[in-house]
């Protein structure tokens, strides 16, 4: 099997056409994600947007919170987001190219962590969920939306399986909705709400509170 492409390299390449491709194809799912997030945020909240990409969810969230710290391992994704921030004159979003485990992210410093369309790409998901829990304040909110490629056979699932197994894209998980929800609960969260936001592949929104 060919060696897998590194995640940063893959997402830097994807950034070139991300808004035109994923942003357009899943526009309704992104809109629904922002709608589901809204009830769990307040205007005083400090939010971490983990794997922010080009900001398709970041910018709507910025209208709901006091401050958004947006991070991504892809410097090109972050560059696109910074351009949007500058063009739209948004003052409460700080976008940075960094890993979730960067020392500058202090434990207990966020009211909410948003993570959209990233959990399925993490081989170390349990470690990541533990870190997210650590970064949240007591009873802080974890808000995510994730494709569940193992729920049923879809064209997108087959495509990602093939690309991942031939090294053309990084690791991809094939969760069912119930197993994804269970993994979040097992990490020390109380799941408050779930909803499938997209027909194929299923995209599961989860709102969970730190226990």
Could you list the residue range(s) of the whole structural domain that residue 183 is in? 7-210
Rounded distance between C-alpha atoms, residue 83 and residue 85, angstroms? 5
CA dihedral 4, 97, 50, 137 (to 10 degrees): 140
pLDDT in tens, 72-131: 999 999 999 999 999 999 999 999 999 999 999 999 999 999 999 999 999 999 999 999
pLDDT band at 4 (very low <50, low <70, confident <90, very high): confident
C-beta of residue 115 within 8 angstroms of C-beta of residue 189? no
What does the pLDDT average to over 186-194? Answer: 98
Tell me, what DSSP letter sits at residue 211?
-
H or E segment to which residue 199 belongs: none
| CATH number of the CATH domain containing 189 | 3.40.50.150
Residue 1 predicted with pLDDT over 60: no
Domain-located, residue 170: yes
Which residues are CB-contacts of 18 (< 8 A; sequence separation ≥ 6)? 53, 54, 77, 80
Rounded distance between C-alpha atoms, residue 140 and residue 197, angstroms? 23
- Give the count of domains, the chain: 1
Domain-located, residue 56: yes
Q: CB-based burial of residue 3 (10 Å sphere; 0-12 exposed, 13-18 middle, 19+ buried)?
A: exposed
Domain-located, residue 176: yes
The predicted structure's pLDDT at residue 83: 97
Q: CB-based burial of residue 77 (10 Å sphere; 0-12 exposed, 13-18 middle, 19+ buried)?
A: buried
CA distances from 177 to 4, 84, 120, 145, 188 (A): 26, 33, 11, 11, 18
- Residue 202: CB atoms within 10 Å: 21
Domain-located, residue 2: no
pTM above 0.85, yes or no: yes
Query: How much is the mean pLDDT over the chain?
Result: 95
Domain-located, residue 103: yes
> Hey, is 38 helix, strand or coil?
helix
C-beta of residue 80 within 8 angstroms of C-beta of residue 18? yes
pLDDT in tens, 30-63: 999 999 999 999 999 999 999 999 999 999 999 9
């Amino acid at each position: 099997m060919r060696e897998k492409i590194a995640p940063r390299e893959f997402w830097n390449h994807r950034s070139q056409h991300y808004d035109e491709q994923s942003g357009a194809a899943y526009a309704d799912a992104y809109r629904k994600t922002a709608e589901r997030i809204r009830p769990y945020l307040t205007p005083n909240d400090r939010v971490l947007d983990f794997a922010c990409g080009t900001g398709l969810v970041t910018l709507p969230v910025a209208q709901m919170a006091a401050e958004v710290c947006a991070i991504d391992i892809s410097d090109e994704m972050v560059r696109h987001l910074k351009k949007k921030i500058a063009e739209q004159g948004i003052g409460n979003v700080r976008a940075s190219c960094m890993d979730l485990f960067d020392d500058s992210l202090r434990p207990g410093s966020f009211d909410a962590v948003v993570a959209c369309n990233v959990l399925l790409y993490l081989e170390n998901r349990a470690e990541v969920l533990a870190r997210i829990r650590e970064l949240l304040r007591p009873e802080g909110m974890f808000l995510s939306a994730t494709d569940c490629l193992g729920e049923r056979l879809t064209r997108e699932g087959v495509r990602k399986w093939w690309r991942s197994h031939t090294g053309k894209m990084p690791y991809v998980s094939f969760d069912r909705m119930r197993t994804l929800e269970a993994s979040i609960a097992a990490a020390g969260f109380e799941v408050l709400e779930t909803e499938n936001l997209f027909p194929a592949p299923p995209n599961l929104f989860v709102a969970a509170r730190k226990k």
